[in-house]
Amino acid sequence: MSTYTLKYGKGSISFALPDNWVIHTLKPHEPEPLPFEETLLRSIEHPTGEIPFSHWVRNFKNILIIVPDITRYAGTERILPVLFKRFLKDVNIKILFALGNHRKHTIEEQKSIVSESIYETAPCVDHDCFDNNNLTSFGFTSSGLEVLLNSSLVSADAVIVIGSINFHYLAGFGGGRKALFPGVAGYKTILGIHGKVFNKDKPGKHKYARSGILEGNPMHEEIMQGVGLIKKPMFLVNTVLDDKKNLLNVFSGHINSAHVEGCRWFMEHFACMPQEKADVVIAGAGGFPKDINFIQTHKTIEHAMGAVKDGGTLIVIGQCQDGLGNDDFLQWFEYETIEEMEFHVRRADKVYAQTAYATRLKAQRCRIILVSDLDNDAVTKMGLIPKNDIADAIASMDKDTGCVCNIIPDGSNTLVCF
């Protein structure tokens, strides 16, 4: 029997597969790592759609730096020391963690994101999407959505936005403008943006509100309208990193054009097409923090759907050490039908209702086994099959019958197209 190893939380798990299975491993066309500081400096000094960073930064005395939260690693603890040492010595800096509506950080988590030296140098603050006293209205989009953002944007002369490019099951791609929306937006605005993923004139989710698509994506377009209402100079630094935190590329400059350039490159390198759809797909989320909770692990389910046959089996490996990811998540599975669920999700005041809806849709298409530390009853309620051990998941398959199996080691960063 052939043996394989996938990341699981901060560790790994190994498993064996029957010799009579036809096995394909699906990996992105990942380039070789690049030297971090050299690549970063080259990118910010030769940006897309902006003047060199060394000239840009001279115009401002008070700069807000928006950085990702603990669930989205961007190499910020390596980026910030370089920027501070070379360009930001005489600038008043405030660092804002783009939590969206995620949980608050611990102090140790904040330090790990920005580095201990930067944490001691500049004030570091978690965004709170529910704190109306620290939100400011920047106007309305054409759909009537009020754009509420952290008030730190008002007092800053300019904004540096740091993020990492990855796939996003609703907005097409993460990184870039998502540090602003939902990253530092008010909860009302976050809800409105997520609500754009449904069709306006018929049931169901919009066909372009999915991973790997920007053009025509209603959520992305709503976000970009919101970005257009922020009349502040912004400079984007978007990284692409591998699962060992090595730097693969940096895209810097204009908040839109630099992001689009980075997304195009990311699609070329991290989307793949299988030789054939499989009876069984085994997809690892890629370890911590990609599998920190179920809502993050769901990205792997989204990305792996193109690799499995209708009615096949998808085995997903995600530890989910922080649980589901939201206290309200499980309640959305109490509706008897998908139609009833959609009716309520469309009117929901909870952001992750869409993730619950997307999970249920996928569970109707194929059998999904989740290997995690989650409570079995919670997994079952989501329409998934719980397993605490991958060997149990594989043992539940008919091993006497040869089948095609696609293995996806890093499902969080690998979009399977078919």
pLDDT tens, position by position, 87-123? 999 999 999 999 998 889 999 999 999 999 999 999 9
Could you tell me where the DSSP H helices lie in 253-400? 257-270, 294-304, 338-346, 353-365, 376-381, 390-395
Residue 197, beta-bridge partner list: none
pLDDT at residue 1 greater than cutoff 80: no
Structure tokens at 158: 């300019």
Average pLDDT score over residue span 125-146: 97
Task: Determine the Cα–Cα distance for residues 256 and 177; give it in Å rounded to an integer.
Answer: 7
Q: Where in the chain is the domain with CATH 3.90.226.30?
A: 2-26+274-416
Cα 258 to its chain centre, rounded Å, is: 18
Question: Which of 134-138, 372-376, 386-390 comes out lowest in average pLDDT?
Answer: 386-390
User: 2-26+274-416, superfamily in CATH?
Assistant: LarA, C-terminal domain (3.90.226.30)
Q: What stretches of 139-236 show up as alpha helix (H) in DSSP?
A: 152-155, 187-194, 218-228
| pLDDT exceeds 90 at position 278 | yes
- Asked if the peptide bond before residue 289 counts as cis, ω within 30 degrees of 0, the response is yes
Give the residue range(s) of CATH 3.40.50.11440 domains in the chain.
36-268
pTM: 0.86
Asked if the model's pLDDT at residue 32 lies above 90, the reply is: yes
State the pLDDT at residue 57.
Answer: 97
Which CATH number is correct for 36-268, 3.40.50.300, 3.40.50.11440, 3.40.50.2000, 3.30.360.10? Answer: 3.40.50.11440
Element (H, E) at 84: helix 76-86
* pLDDT at residue 244 in the model: 86
What's the mean pLDDT when you consider all of the chain? 94
Burial class (CB in 10 A: 0-12, 13-18, 19+), 210: buried
CB 367, CB 304: distance < 8 Å: no
Measure the CA angle with vertex 114, ends 372 and 117; round to 5°: 135
